[in-house]
Amino acid sequence: MSRWRSPVAAYTALVVILLSSWYIFTAVGQYPDFILPGPALVWQRFQTALMKGRLLFHFLVTLWEVAAGLCLGTFFALITGYLLSKSRRLENFLSPVLVASQAVPIVAVAPLLIIWFGPGLFSKILVCSIIIYFPVLVNVVAGLKSVPTDLQNLMTSLNANRKQKLVWLEIPATLPYFFTGMKVGATLSVTGAVVGEFLGADKGLGFLINVARGQYDTALVMAIIIILVLFALVLYYLVVLIEKIMVRWKE
């Protein structure tokens, strides 16, 4: 319990400092609410949107897009990573293509996906899966290649087949690398969903930001931004928690 007290106290102090600075800055500057609303107005706007059910509905849409995108992107990253780690020829052929694909910004790809697959949920799920695919893939390949040769030879000498090597050797060795990629992917998935909703959607937090921005409802925009930050943090620490459970042997 004691090891949690210091981080919690530090984060609490940081939040208090940020809120105090925000309040003082807006009070001294006396900015209009559509330029920079104060913390109290943002909180009030958040409560109003939440009570009407508007905010919860759009959040659940974004949550579904992020969850589905994470699952889809991770699934294909695991399959591709395993194939690349087992075939040097395939790796040499696909690696330049995969690296080159990362040079294309997701904001340039997202409009094409919306045109091809429509403005529904599926195009947003694809954006999420694409944005997390490469970080997870790179770490999976690195993890599979990190398996010690001595252990591989030992499994071979014990007449282990490919499935047994995968289950008892390669997957445990890859898990730390995999979760490193998932930490990055989990936070990026929120960005992917919002980018897709910005460019074409009729629901979701990104859509709600567009509506609020058009109405100069800056308080609601800032409330949604804070929700997205907290959402990404929750996903990150959820991955950390799962890692602690599944990679307990590492400690």
Amino acid (1-letter code) at residue 168: W
pLDDT value of residue 24: 85
Q: Six-digit token pair at 241?
A: 């928690």
Q: Which of 11, 28, 49 is nearest to 224 (CA)?
A: 49
Structure confidence by residue, pLDDT tens digits, 30-45: 777 778 888 888 898 8
Q: Report domain extents, the chain.
A: 49-250
What is the token pair recorded at 210? 């567009």
User: Is residue 149 within 8 Å of 172, Cβ to Cβ?
Assistant: no
Compare 199 and 79 and report the one with higher pLDDT.
79
What's the Cα-to-Cα distance from 205 to each of 39, 63, 212, 225, 230, rounded to whole Å?
20, 9, 10, 9, 13
For residues 188 and 178, give the distance between their C-alpha atoms in angstroms, rounded to a whole number. 15
The rounded distance, in Å, linking the Cα atoms of 65 and 196 is 10
Q: How far apart are CA 144 and CA 170, in angstroms?
A: 6
> What would the 3-class secondary structure string for 79-114 be?
HHHHHHHHCHHHHHHHHHHHHHHCCCCHHHHHHHHH
CA-to-CA separations, 149 to 3, 50, 137, 176, in angstroms, rounded: 37, 56, 22, 18
CATH class of the domain at 49-250: mainly alpha
Between 7 and 240, name the one with better pLDDT: 240
Strands (E), the chain: none
Mean pLDDT of 181-197: 88
Per residue in 54-82, pLDDT (tens digit) is: 888 999 999 999 999 999 999 999 999 88
The answer to whether 136 and 74 have CB atoms below 8 angstroms apart is yes
In this predicted structure, the answer to whether residue 136 has a pLDDT above a threshold of 80 is yes
- pLDDT tens-digit map of 82-133: 888 888 888 788 777 777 777 777 777 888 888 888 888 888 899 899 889 8
Helix (H, G, I), strand (E, B) or coil at 120: coil
